[in-house]
Structure 1
């Protein structure tokens, strides 16, 4: 993506021409990179979170909050998947202006993102229901004052 955009800039300024499809393709690739990157970050527990109150709770309270949080995230992911699927199907017949690629391919990245997030959240929910601690540094669920 970087090589494509940089090469197009060089061609545009140095040779007064360029590859017209490179801007559109780089935009599509950036959408895919963003959505698939969010799944990778979720796998590493790298998304922002506010846990000041939850960390002050006893272990049972933390597990209950984790289960509730996972259920809410699954509901949001299901809603996201439904909307992404609708947009993908709706836009498969629309072609991008320059490349002619179906615009549904850009929306398909959101479908894969929603499925990936649902799998990760579902796995975390199953682990929480089994009573396992969440992945991460050991100090995440340390008892306050311990």
Structure 2
């Protein structure tokens, strides 16, 4: 199991770096296409390329799905803590959280495959691009979520949930400050002016 976790961690680390590069390329493409649309509306010299609107929308959709997968690896999504931290109910909900992410990833892979194949019969209006390249985002996202969730669950199973979260979760500055006691209590003395106030009034 330890060797499996080590190999999966190395694989996911490489996939995460690849996803960062892909997301950066998608973001730059999205910004460039939006800027061109704005400029072409105001400069008659530039041709109106209607496919830029479609491609910017497709890039945005892929950014959402791939960013969602990276967020699963580091637990960057919104989490509602309904129970005291460290309690049995809190530990149980943390396990349920990662198991639910794994289940969602499996659903995306299984049902997203049929959704992606339906794109073979459809094409984008302006560019003529086959919609399979757009619809397959759910399947690809589900595959990454399955890999990332499996790593989290396997790490928690072998080393415990707290050590897994410390190794994979994005650091929370507020929680770290509360745990280390690195907070400043503001007293009335600190709010008082450093220089004496002259209360005398002038005529």
TM-score, normalising length: structure 2: 0.60
Q: Does 1:23 align with 2:47?
A: no
Q: Does 1:113 align with 2:137?
A: no
Work out the CA distance in 2 between the residues paired with 1:121 and 1:43.
7
Q: Does 1:81 align with 2:81?
A: no
Higher-Rg structure is 2
Q: CA RMSD in A?
A: 2.5
Work out the CA distance in 1 between the residues paired with 2:90 and 2:153.
13
**Contact conserved, 1:70 with 1:125, CA < 8 A, in 2?**
yes
Unpaired segments of 5 or more residues in structure 1? Answer: none
**Contact conserved, 2:104 with 2:142, CA < 8 A, in 1?**
no
How far is 1:70 from its partner? 2.3
Instruction: Tell me which residue corresponds to 1:130.
Output: 158
Instruction: Tell me which residue corresponds to 2:65.
Output: 35
How far is 1:88 from its partner? 0.2
TM-score, normalising length: structure 1: 0.81
Q: Does 1:14 align with 2:48?
A: no
Work out the CA distance in 1 between the residues paired with 2:94 and 2:61.
30
Q: Write the mapping of 1:54-73 to structure 2, written as runs, cut at 5 A.
A: 55-58=85-88, 62-73=90-101
Higher alpha-carbon deviation: 41-50 or 18-27: 41-50
Higher relative contact order (CA 8 A, sep 6+): 1
- The count of aligned residue pairs is 140
Say if 1:14 and 1:83 are closer, same or farther in 2 by CA, change over 3 A.
same
How far is 1:54 from its partner? 5.5
Instruction: Tell me which residue corresponds to 1:103.
Output: 131
Unpaired segments of 5 or more residues in structure 2? Answer: 1-29, 180-203
Work out the CA distance in 2 between the residues paired with 1:112 and 1:4.
24
